[in-house]
Amino acid sequence: MAKLYVVGIGPGGREDMTFRAVNAVKNSQVIVGYTPYIEYLEELVEGKEIISTGMKGELERCKAAIESVKNGKDTAIVSTGDAGLYGMAGPILEMATDIDVEIVPGVTAAFSAAGELGSPIMHDFCSISLSDLLTPWELIEKRIEKASEADFVITIYNPRSRGRKKHIEKAVEIMLKHKLPSTPVGIVKNSGRSGQEQFITTLDDIDYERIDMLSVLIVGNSKTYVENGHMITPRGYNL
């Protein structure tokens, strides 16, 4: 019986893919994914059947992957980061009720960016996407409010696009009701791949023009500090 691998390929560089992810891609006859994600895989997909779509083609890709497996072909549908975090694992499991599915986890952008910034996620944290394509903005605002009030480290995905330039500014406005203006904020663009940029600022001094959809923000908690260029959130050890 053919198998469908739902693969998280990490932030995009081959060096950040897990062995399971590499093997799943190698063992598949068909690779399905968003066009730029497939390009990240380079020689791993040589000689394989490729099914790719542009932005907002998620369900189309899921249907194509399921159909490929039903036609007897081992297939991998790929997502950057982790397939179970804003990736394809959810819709595939909702749609594919009669085929063999294996979820292959990957390194999410939050952890990739955290490693580049230092150790900002050493304590309780949450991730919030500012994309309101599938989630009402009112609910996103509520989640930002509650996470800030609870002093979580907050990782923000999809912070700013051409059509949503003000969402990140509104999110910061909400966070500033509960977090100090001096709270460290790490911003990483193209984490783990070509063109990577990173900088550390504070919650009240963010340059929004440097943020786009390829950026990840990590907003510290009340204990987070910056030392020797590293963003550090103490775990609580008595050092």
Mean pLDDT of 186-194: 94
Contact in structure between 78 and 25 (CB atoms under 8 Å)? yes
| Residue 15 pLDDT | 86
**CA 177 to chain CA mean position, Å:** 26
Q: Do 133 and 89 reside in the same domain of the chain?
A: no
The boundaries of the domain holding residue 79 are 3-107
The domain boundary, picked from 107, 133, 160, lies at 107
Confirm whether 188 is domain-assigned: yes
Average pLDDT estimate for 121-145: 97
For residue range 79-98, list pLDDT tens digits in order. 999 999 999 999 999 999 89
Q: Is the pLDDT of residue 13 over 80?
A: no
Give the model confidence (pLDDT) of 218-231 as tens digits: 999 999 999 999 99
| 202 CB-contact burial (10 Å; exposed 0-12 / middle 13-18 / buried 19+) | middle
Res 163: pLDDT? 80
- Is pLDDT at 28 greater than 80 in this prediction? yes
* 74 pLDDT more than 80: yes
* pTM for the model: 0.94
The residues, ordered by sequence, that sit 6+ positions from 53 with a Cβ below 8 Å of its Cβ are 34, 35, 60, 61
- What's the pLDDT band for 173 if we cut at 50, 70, 90? very high
Any domain includes 95: yes
Q: Are residues 29 and 68 in the same domain?
A: yes
The DSSP code sequence of the chain is --EEEEEE-BTS-GGGS-HHHHHHHHT-SEEEEEHHHHHHTGGGGTTSEEEEE-TT-HHHHHHHHHHHHHTT--EEEEESB-TTSSSSHHHHHHH-SSSEEEEE----HHHHHHHHHEE--SS-EEEEE---SSS-HHHHHHHHHHHHHTT-EEEEES---TT-SSHHHHHHHHHTTTS-TT-EEEEEESTTSTT-EEEEEETTS--GGG--TTEEEEE--TT-EEETTEEE-------
**Pair 118, 129 in one domain:** yes
**Which residues, listed in sequence order, are joined to residue 3 by a DSSP beta bridge?**
100
In CATH, what number is assigned to the domain containing residue 91?
A: 3.40.1010.10
Q: Residue 182: which CATH number?
A: 3.30.950.10
Asked whether residue 194 carries a pLDDT value surpassing 90, the answer given is no
Asked if pLDDT for residue 211 goes beyond 90, the answer is yes
Q: CA neighbours within 13 Å on the CB side: how many for 166?
A: 1
Contact between 96 and 90 (Cβ < 8 Å): no
142 and 177 both lie in a single domain: yes
- Residue ending a domain, among 87, 107, 127, is 107
Statement to judge: residues 137 and 162 lie in one domain: yes
Domain count of the fold of the chain: 2
Same domain, 216 and 181: yes
Residues 115 and 207 in one domain: yes
Evaluate whether 114 touches 218 at the Cβ level (below 8 Å): yes
Question: Do 86 and 131 share a domain, yes or no?
Answer: no
The residue whose two tokens read 């542009």 is: 54
What tokens appear for 126 in the block?
Answer: 């949450």
User: 239 in a domain, yes or no?
Assistant: no
Per-residue pLDDT band for 14 (boundaries 50, 70, 90) equals confident
pLDDT of amino acid 10: 95
Give the pLDDT band (50/70/90) at residue 49: very high
One domain for residues 121 and 103: no
* Residue 129 and residue 26 share a domain: no
pLDDT in the model for residue 22 = 96
Residues 138 and 161 in one domain: yes
Q: Examine the fold and report which residue of 50, 78, 107 is the final residue of a domain before the chain moves on.
A: 107
Q: For residue 238, is it within any domain?
A: no
What's the average model confidence in pLDDT over 179-197?
95
